Amino acid sequence: MTSPRKHLVKDFNHFITCYVCKGYLIKPTTVTECLHTFCKSCIVQHFEDSNDCPKCGIQVHETNPLEMLRLDNTLEEIIFKLVPGLREKEQQQEIEFWRSRKWKENGEEDGPRSKRSRLDDDDDGAGDGDYHRSDPQIAICLDCLRNSSLVGENIVKGLMKKFIRCSTRVTVGTIKKFLSLKLKLPSSYELDVLCNGEIMGKDHTMEFIYMTRWRLRGETAYPMVLEYRPRIDFG
């Protein structure tokens, strides 16, 4: 009786490589209109010059194709399990990228590991978890967007400590939970989080917003400013 054939990584290359760069998918990101998947950096860069899918040519969105992207965390985990050492390599490259591109601009020579803090501040108590401390970190300013005509303006106030540092992988949804906790908002109360006047989706990560929405660069780029306000229902 013959033993089952062992599959090699190259047998799955068609499913785990990027059509644009031909390398393994890094932070696999799927276009929701056609379900084709690319490296996040590849597809974001492609959409700077085109609104069409690079593989099938379908128009993804008339004006803002970036809104039609979704990260595929499950596929990312599968790829990391299939390709030995890929996760560690990419994590190291990501840390070096953030160190060279941003932290030195901010005068922090030790890079993203120099000053770590939990998203919910030290006064909430330290836990046993990692809290993404090993991730590249980003500095954020959370500003309350004042508008006396907005319903709920009286309970949405500015933070006493509006500057935070968190993982670049933190999502807008987590920022909203953080704000609700700090502002002691009712559980049913909803906020909008904006960058440069544009409402951010709850699944957007801080890295994604910095690379695609935050317009400032160089010495004026830090910290990245996010604004929050009571949610406006346009329906």
Q: What is the pLDDT of residues 135-178, one digit of tens each?
A: 788 889 999 987 655 555 567 888 888 888 888 889 999 999 99
Q: How far apart (Å, rounded) are the C-alpha atoms in residues 87 and 77?
A: 9
What are the Cα distances from residue 183, in Å, to 165, 227, 230? Answer: 18, 14, 12
Element (H, E) at 38: strand 37-39
Which has the closest alpha carbon to 198: 64, 7, 43, 82?
Answer: 64
Beta bridge pairs of residue 164: 140
Look up residue 22 and give its two tokens.
Answer: 């031909």
pLDDT tens digits, one per residue of 81-132: 888 888 888 878 777 776 776 555 555 544 444 444 444 444 444 444 555 5
Q: What does the pLDDT average to over 3-27?
A: 82
Domains and CATH numbers, the chain: 9-82 (3.30.40.10), 137-146+155-230 (3.10.20.90)
CB neighbours of 196 closer than 8 A, spacing ≥ 6? 213, 214, 215
Q: How far apart (Å, rounded) are the C-alpha atoms in residues 186 and 155?
A: 10
Segment among 18-32, 51-65, 106-120, 200-214 with least mean pLDDT:
106-120
Which position has the higher pLDDT, 213 or 51? 51
Spacing of C-alpha 29 from chain mean position: 12
CB neighbours of 76 closer than 8 A, spacing ≥ 6? 25, 27, 28
- The answer, yes or no, to whether residue 205 has pLDDT greater than 70, is yes
Beta bridge pairs of residue 141: 163, 225
